[in-house]
Every structure is written in structure tokens, then in C-alpha cells.
Structure 1
Amino acid sequence: MAQKTNEPAGDDRARHDPADHSDEDVSAADPRTPSILEQMGGISGLIYSTVPIVVFVPVNAVWGLRVAMVAALAVALVIFGVRLWRREPLNPAISGLLGVAICVFIANRVGDAKGYFLFGIWTTLAYAIAFVVSIVVRWPLIGVAWNLISGEGMAWRKHRRTLYAYDIATAFWAAVFAARYLTQSTLYDDGHTGWLAVSRIAMGWPLTALAVLATVLLVRRATRDEHVIEAEEEQKSSTDPVR
């Protein structure tokens, strides 16, 4: 009896050892990092942003500016509720509703339906300038945003190929925003509200999706090259004779 009582508790410790669940702990502590597109609300979020525009323009043509503003706000509120109900990321939902509210406010102040698009036009110009400046000062915004989201820090700036890839990706986004500004500002000056809506949608989520795809391809290739270079440097340092 004494022998049984004094048996080592190794088996019990093994059964209750937290290390046995290390895989579960790692997976729970290391959730998947959202992609850039997901941070923007995903494809559905980009499509949601076009719905108030699709409603605003025809309603304005039939019933006038006041009704169109109310309709756009009502649709934005419905979309906001749907996104909350589907438990989608909160920030894109709030920014989408706030964006529509700002556009409606400006349209009301301008007294013309084309004023609805003025905020987006000036925003695209600001983005284009910011992206170009970030390249000039060697802090490309796509690199900063990508690594902030992934939590990998700013060591990428020390690697030439990676920095160059982020430069190209940032320049691509700057070109997208510049093209939007030039096209839509021209249509705004000419008073083509209907074509403003068409260009806003056509140059909206399709170009954004294309820019995201180009960014992912560029960054993945640069990161892969970076890892190869680091491995070669580690191998070289390990084979160097000790002095």
C-alpha cells in the first residue's frame, strides 16, 4: 500500500502539463492578421460604398436634392445596421456612414447635387500628394501601413529590395488617386453629376482591388528575396573561420 501511495506523480503531471496544449495556446495567441483589403472592409465594404451614390443620383434627378440627401443618408444607415448585424469590422462601418454624412452636408451647403462628390475629389488629391511625399522622404506609406498591420516593425527599411518594392506599390496607389482626382475634378467643373457617379464607381472598388493585388504581389516577392538574403548572410557568417 505504501508503495502505491508513494508512486511518482510524473504521469499525473504529464496528464496536466500545460505544454501538452502548446499548439492550442499558440494558435489562440497568434490570430490571423487581417489583410489590407480586410482592414478597408473587404470587397463587400467597397461595394457598400457605392450604394448611396447609386441611390443619390437618380433620386436627385426625379425628386430633387433634398429628397436625394435624405435617401442617401437613409441607405447609409441601413448599410451601417446590416454591417453591425453581420458583425463586420466596426471602423469601416463607421467611416462609411460618416463619409456619406459629410458628402450630404457639403451638397446641402453647395446647393447642388455635384457637391456630394466634392469631399471625395479633394480627398483623392490629398491621398495622392501624401503618397508621393512619403516616397520622396523614403517612408513609403504602403510599407508603413503594411508592417503596422502585420506587426513586423520597421526593419524592412534596411533592405533595399523591400524598400524599392514598397516605393513602387506606393507610387501605384498615388497614380490611382491622381487619376481619380483629374477625372472627377474635370467632370465636377463641367457639372456632369451623372458621369461623376459613373466615374466614382468605375474608378472606386475595381481600381482599389487592382491596387491591393499589385501591392500583395510586389511585397511578397520583395519579402521572399529579403528572407533569401538574410539566410545567405547567416550561412556565410556561420561558415566564417573564428579569428
Structure 2
Amino acid sequence: MNDSEARQESLHDVLGGYRGAVDASVGPLAYVAGYLVGGKSIAWGAIAAGVATIGVGLWRWRRGGKLTAVLLGALGVGVAATIALYTGRGSDFFLARLASNVVSALAWSVSIVARWPLLGVVVGTALGQKTRWRRDPWLLRGYQRASWIWVGQYAVRIAVFTPLWLADATTALGLTQAALTWPLVAACLALSWVVLRKALPEAHPGIRHPVTAESLAETPDPDRVR
């Protein structure tokens, strides 16, 4: 890939799109389907979610995906089903997902304040940069700003899921879980990429080429770049 192509690629290209988010929608929808078909049976819903999640995972695996994704998907469904079966509330199948969004929002916020924005950690790892991106003041600033977009997506889910969970609205939770998974991730990837690119000066070589300390002497102060 030449420099021009690298500058044109997006977070969607680097992170592999939102296939995982699409797959994550299968379990909740299958749970709701099984729950309703079984006469609001948590057990039927859990079985349907488990079969659907493992089925999609194995299909991805046969197409070159990782087996660990299948195991993690099954584990997630198992934990969610265990909670719901223990409490007897159908909506508690989604309690772990609600909690994970709360934890994620807090973790991303703390990472930004600590100047270790998680978007930079994820992208830097995907590109094999380790921590070199942190030595680039423009990239660090860009990842900090763009990471707030991801905090926002978790906040949206929390705001929507919480009242539905409190109302024990199982069907609505399943539908909104799907609606706020891959579409929201797709929007997040696109918007955070725009924010990240706007934080970089025109002459910046792109996210694949951090401007490290050795070249800072020949570049303007990032706070003066508009």
C-alpha cells in the first residue's frame, strides 16, 4: 500500500469493518424469538440464542475466522442465560450487556483522560505500531477526540437499555439491542474517522506513519495547526 492509499483508508478498513457487531445481533434476536415461541420461556430463548450464536460462529470459523470467537460467543450467551434463569426475569438476559456498556463507557473515558485513548490502543495494535502512535502529538490528540465518539455510543445504549430493562421489556430489549449494535458501530467508525482525520494536519502521512520525536523538529506545533 502506498502513502496515498494509506491516507485514504478508513477505520473500517483497518479494524475489519463491523462484521463482529452484525454477528452480535444474532444472539439477542434469536433469544427473543425463542422466548416468544416458547410462551415467554427463558429456557427456550437461551437455547435459541445459543444455537444461533454457535451456528454463526462456526460458519465464520469455516470461512477463516477464529475458533476463540465461537467460544467467546457461547460463553457470553451462557452467562446471560444463567443470569436470566437465576432471576426468572426474561429481560435479565440483557443485564450483562447493559453492564458491559457501563464499564466500557467508563473505561474509554478514563483512557482519554489518562492520555491512553483506547481507540489509539486498538488501532495501534491492529497496525503493529505498539505505542509509537503516542509519540505523535497529532495522532494522540486525534485518538483522544475520536474516542469520545465511542463513549457516546455506549452512553446511547445505556440511556435506551436502562428504562427497558427496568420495565422488564424483554422483546423491546432484544430489538433495540440489534438496532443499536451494528448500525451504531458503523456510524461510530465513520464519525470517529472524520474526527481523527480533522485532527491531523494536511501534510501528516496518516495513521500508519506516526510522526515520532526524531521528526518533530521539522514540523509545526500541533496546537498551531488548523
Spell out, residue by residue over 1:162-220, the C-alpha distance to the aligned partner (whole angstroms, 9 max, x if none): 22211111111011111111210111001111111121111111111111223334445
CA RMSD in angstroms comes to 2.7
Q: Residue in 2 aligned with 1:30?
A: none
Q: 1:75 pairs with 40, 47, 52, which one?
A: 52
Q: Residue in 1 aligned with 2:30?
A: 55
Letter in 1 for 2:137: R
Task: Indicate the SS of the match to 1:88.
Answer: coil
Letter in 2 for 1:184: F
Distance 1:37 1:159, change over 3 A: closer
For normalisation by structure 2, the TM-score amounts to 0.77
Distance 1:213 1:196, change over 3 A: same
Q: Residue in 1 aligned with 2:223?
A: none
The one of the two structures with greater contact order (alpha-carbon pairs below 8 A, sep at least 6) is 2
| Range moving further from structure 2, 189-198 or 46-55 | 46-55
Taking the aligned partners of 2:202 and 2:109, their CA distance within structure 1 comes to 26
Task: Indicate the SS of the match to 1:122.
Answer: helix
The structure that has the greater radius of gyration is 1
For these two proteins, the number of residue pairs brought into alignment is 200
Q: Residue in 2 aligned with 1:183?
A: 160
Distance 1:196 1:223, change over 3 A: farther
Taking the aligned partners of 1:133 and 1:68, their CA distance within structure 2 comes to 36
Spell out, residue by residue over 1:92-136, the C-alpha distance to the aligned partner (whole angstroms, 9 max, x if none): 333222212211111111212101100000000000000111111
Structure 2 unaligned blocks of 5 or more: 1-11, 221-226
Q: Tell me the CA shift for residue 233 of structure 1.
A: 4.5
Q: Tell me the CA shift for residue 227 of structure 1.
A: 3.7
Match status 1:117 vs 2:94 = yes
Identity of aligned residues (%): 25
Q: Residue in 1 aligned with 2:15?
A: 37
Distance 1:181 1:166, change over 3 A: same
Q: Which has the higher helix share?
A: 1
Spell out, residue by residue over 1:56-96, the C-alpha distance to the aligned partner (whole angstroms, 9 max, x if none): 11321231222221222122222222122222233433322
Letter in 2 for 1:37: L
Distance 1:95 1:223, change over 3 A: farther
For normalisation by structure 1, the TM-score amounts to 0.72
Structure 1 unaligned blocks of 5 or more: 1-33, 237-243
Taking the aligned partners of 2:15 and 2:217, their CA distance within structure 1 comes to 34
